[in-house]
A and B are shown apart, each in its own frame.
Chain A
Amino acid sequence: MATIVGAITTSHIPSIGKAIARNLQQDPYWKPFFDGYPRAQEWLKEVRPDVVVAFYNDHGLNYFLDALPTFGVGAAPEYRNADEGWGIPTLAPILGHQDLSWHVIEGLVDADFDVTTCQQMLVDHAVSLPFALLWPDAEAWPVRLVPITINTLQYPFPSPARCLGLGQAVGRAIESFDEDLRVVVFGTGGLSHQLDGTRAGHINKPFDLMCMEKLVDDPQALARYSALDLVREAGAQGFELVNWIAARGALTGAVSQVHSNYHIPISNTAAGLMVLENRPAAMARAA
């Protein structure tokens, strides 16, 4: 059976791609951010995942306003990154795991999450940057991918509670997959930031730190917020926190924090990183 070994939640700010391309990891502006990642890279080497299931929001690379799913699941043989107009180098394609994708889709629809299925799908910086940050020296990606998108572009947004439920349903589906796979869940985006209007630059450190603490032991506390609450506290694009909430939802066992990092600012954003280990209930019982 597939096992969920843990989750990594990380920001996905486009300028990170430029900093990597220019080797600015040791630059004083960037160092406090990049210094957070070696521990997460080591952890991935320790837990040796076969597949990443990534919750993120597409920013208009794969979807446009013509057809915009609230929740979408990739079921493609491979996922390509492409020019988003930011001048970030594109990444090598990531192989999919179609059997797991379809199993997750079936599990989600069974659980009344009527998702959109994407057999062709481009992945934007919300996937490519976490891969570049977490496997900086990879010649070939060491994992396959199941991408899951959450709409944070056009209202109505799904509620944080619904996103937690989505993550829980994904977690149950993964754990019922009849193949010995080690799975790591990603949640990308955030933390507090607002890119638009005269309130641009909004940052809320106390709120972010509270969210990072609650994410470990009490994600239900975060699921109680409304979209309005999250925009008020975390900024218009701080709503991307729902990707973290969904990723946490997929961890169904005993969860402990391995590592975290938090840094203000990267560009307009408070950057966060967490590594959470999941001890599946079945393993805990056997121990």
Chain B
Amino acid sequence: MAGYNEAFRDIPGTTVFDATQSRLGYHLNQFCMSLMKAENRAAFKADERAYLETFPMTPEQRQAVLDRDYNRMIALGGNIYFLAKIGATDGFSFQNLASKMTGMPEDEYKAMMVAGGRPIRGNRSKSDKDS
């Protein structure tokens, strides 16, 4: 199997967490999981670089964490359920993370959600933009 992302490529703006992503992101996600403990959150906040060095992640993954570049973290194997723990450690709401990933100012993103969410038309699939 070529990976689920091949099968899902018709869905815009979406990376599914398949075997390829899971293998790539194992240690990145393990770092995120460590943030479930208050003492680890404190250690990470005290010295982010030093804390990240304790996990066998790639330099690109460490940089993406330091940059809080969530789309890059996803591309490098991060799973959103785990990545969200970074945002929570920073004291941000999930909507703040979502606004970062979508490149929208947070108030604009929140207003879109209150107005009913991202419209389905044109966002359901790439091949059928009119549905």
* A residues neighboring B (CB under 8 Å): 14-15, 59-61, 64-65, 82-87, 153-156, 192, 194-207, 228, 231-233, 236-237, 264-265, 267-268, 270
Most chain A Cβ neighbours within 10 Å, of B81, B103, B109: B81
Q: Would A85 and B98 count as touching, CB distance under 8 A?
A: no
In order of increasing CB-CB distance, the 8 nearest A-B pairs are A203-B117, A199-B13, A198-B13, A196-B80, A201-B118, A85-B85, A200-B98, A265-B113
Are A268 and B95 in contact (CB-based, < 8 A)?
yes
Besides A85-B85, A201-B117, A203-B118, 13 more A-B contacts (Cβ < 8 Å) are A15-B94, A155-B17, A192-B117, A196-B14, A196-B74, A196-B101, A198-B13, A199-B14, A201-B109, A202-B120, A231-B16, A264-B113, A265-B117
* Complex: A218 Cα to B51 Cα, angstroms: 51
**Known contacts A82-B36, A154-B22, A205-B116: does B98 contact A199 (CB below 8 Å)?**
no
> Which residue of chain A lies nearest to B25 when distances are taken between CB atoms in the complex?
A65
Which B residues, 1 to 35, have Cβ-Cβ distances below 8 Å to chain A? 4, 7-8, 10-19, 22, 26, 29-30, 33, 35
A264 and B117 in contact, given A14-B94, A155-B4 (Cβ under 8 angstroms): yes
Distance to closest chain B CB from A133 (angstroms): 18
B28 to chain A, nearest CB (A): 11
- A155 and B16 CA atoms in complex are apart in Å by 8
A227 to B99, CA, bound (A): 25
Q: Knowing A154-B17, A155-B4, A231-B14 touch, does A60 contact B81 (C-beta < 8 A)?
A: yes
B14, B93, B123: the one within 8 Å of A236 (CB) = B14
Q: Is the interface of A mostly helix, strand, loop or mixed?
A: loop
Q: A201 contacts which chain B residues (CB < 8 A)?
A: 98, 102, 109, 112-113, 117-118
- Interface positions of B (Cβ within 8 A of A): 4, 7-8, 10-19, 22, 26, 29-30, 33, 35-38, 41, 70-71, 74, 79-85, 88-89, 93-95, 97-98, 101-103, 109, 112-114, 116-118, 120, 123-125
- Interface contact A153-B17, CB-CB below 8 Å: yes
Q: 8 pairs across A/B with beta carbons < 8 Å?
A: A60-B81, A83-B37, A154-B17, A155-B4, A198-B101, A228-B8, A231-B8, A265-B116
- The smallest C-beta distance from A100 to any residue of chain B, in angstroms, reads 29
Cα A153 to Cα B18 in complex, Å, equals 9
B120 near A203 with CB under 8 A, answer yes
Q: Check if A65 sits within 8 Å of B11, measured CB to CB.
A: no
CB-nearest residue of chain B to A194: B14
Compute how far the CA of A49 lies from the CA of B114 in the bound complex, rounded to whole angstroms: 36
**Chain A minimum-CB-distance residue to B3:** A155
In the complex the two chains form, what is the Cα distance from A268 to B16 in whole Å?
A: 18
Complexed CA–CA distance, A1 and B109 (Å): 51
